[in-house]
Amino acid sequence: MQNISSEGQTPIFLCGHRKTGTTLLLSLFDNHPNLVTFPPDSGFFYAWYPKYASDEFTREQKIQRIIDTMYYNLKQDLKKLEAYQGGFEFEALNEHFRSRMEGKPADPGRLIEEAILAYGDIVIENDPSEIKGWVEKTTSTEIYAGELFNWFPNAKVIHLLRDPRDNYSSLKSGWQARYSKQADSIERIRQSMIDRGLLGMKMAAVNQEIYGAEQYKVVRFEDLTTKPMEVLQEICEFTGVDRTESMLFPSYMGLPWKGNNFDGLKFEAISPVNVGRWRQRIEPEEAHLIEFHFEPEMHRWGYELSSTADQRSSAAREHYKWHNFAQEYSVHKKANTYSKATT
């Protein structure tokens, strides 16, 4: 096994709010002959950084946390991948990552790069000299773009955006399968969309202005799925790699990937089937609420509103009736405390 050199590599980061198409784009890079693509969401920018970057943790704890998050996510994905029949030597991967880290500082940029290249050393069969870059995806990366470009001045970031109504409808469709285990109500998922989804859309414009279109590219899910040839060519020119036919067919470690759709739909190739499906998947009032909060960003990125100002205002008012009572700071949550204090 020959180690892939970290010198001269172009780090490529994929980001965007969850369910905006980041996993799809990651799967299109998966089989590229000149890239090491780490196939799961690495979790680095929410499970490792920034907490484990502090001096509170030892070097060994920092390294072990990478193994417990990034490589754990890979292990969990392989358990679910129907086409994957072989065993994967995770202990060998862990030890090889540790060997690549010998004599190197356990700082955030070094750790994430060495973790991905260690994976590449094991799975990539091409001549290491042919590898020109590596690809990582975390759904929080856009928030930390400032730190990222400090670690990797030559990095390329691709930020996925999606119609926020479709984004929310996709999250809602996963309530029973996943999100009911993470939140106490659909309203919490809706609020997360408003808070985190809107932050991501705002970051897209701000980051592109700060770092320039040469290093920070924004791609709409709708464009990627309705005109993939054109968009993939733009993405390849942006990242400096050749477009290959394999990029039209999603894969995971080179195996066909059927998508992560909560409705059970399976895909053989890039599909626009979920573009505009919010009309069938969420209530009109929910769409009005999303439009109330996202209106400026929707205009900015070319998404047309479906509601009147009165409908948006009404939806926001009704939502606030839940929101006001649901917060930890709500006076209603502390009613018993106040009652006891006044008796």
Q: Let me know if residue 201 belongs to a domain.
A: no
Q: Are residues 123 and 36 in the same domain?
A: yes
Q: Are residues 39 and 94 in the same domain?
A: yes
Residue 181 has a pLDDT of 67
Q: CA distances (Å), 71 to each of 75, 128, 284, 327, in order?
A: 6, 21, 41, 36
Q: Let me know if residue 321 belongs to a domain.
A: yes
Q: Are residues 321 and 215 in the same domain?
A: no
Residue 265 has a pLDDT of 59
Residue 179 has a pLDDT of 65
Q: Are residues 102 and 240 in the same domain?
A: yes
Q: Are residues 56 and 129 in the same domain?
A: yes
Q: Let me know if residue 37 belongs to a domain.
A: yes
Tell me which residue range forms the domain holding 65: 10-163+211-256
Q: Are residues 106 and 63 in the same domain?
A: yes
The span from the CA of 40 to the CA of 137, in Å, is 7
Q: Are residues 306 and 225 in the same domain?
A: no
Q: Let me know if residue 26 belongs to a domain.
A: yes
The span from the CA of 298 to the CA of 285, in Å, is 17
Q: Let me know if residue 206 belongs to a domain.
A: no
Q: Are residues 231 and 124 in the same domain?
A: yes
Residue 339 has a pLDDT of 46
Q: Are residues 297 and 252 in the same domain?
A: no
Q: Are residues 238 and 290 in the same domain?
A: no
User: In terms of C-beta density within 10 A (0-12 exposed, 13-18 middle, 19 or more buried), how is residue 281 classed?
Assistant: middle
The span from the CA of 40 to the CA of 78, in Å, is 9
**241: three-class secondary structure by DSSP:** coil
Q: Let me know if residue 268 belongs to a domain.
A: no
Q: Are residues 152 and 241 in the same domain?
A: yes
Report pTM: 0.91
**CATH number (domain holding residue 244):** 3.40.50.300
Q: Let me know if residue 170 belongs to a domain.
A: no
The span from the CA of 265 to the CA of 259, in Å, is 8
Q: Are 88 and 72 in contact (CB under 8 A)?
A: no
Report mean pLDDT in 10-residue bins for the chain, 343 residues: 92 97 96 96 96 97 98 92 80 98 97 98 92 96 97 98 97 75 80 96 98 98 97 98 93 84 65 95 97 98 98 97 79 48 45
What's the token pair of residue 39? 């196939």
> What is the total count of domains within the chain?
2
Q: CA distances (Å), 69 to each of 115, 162, 232, 343, in order?
A: 11, 27, 30, 51
Q: Are residues 291 and 252 in the same domain?
A: no
Phi then psi for residue 104, to 5 deg, are: -115, 145
Q: Let me know if residue 55 belongs to a domain.
A: yes
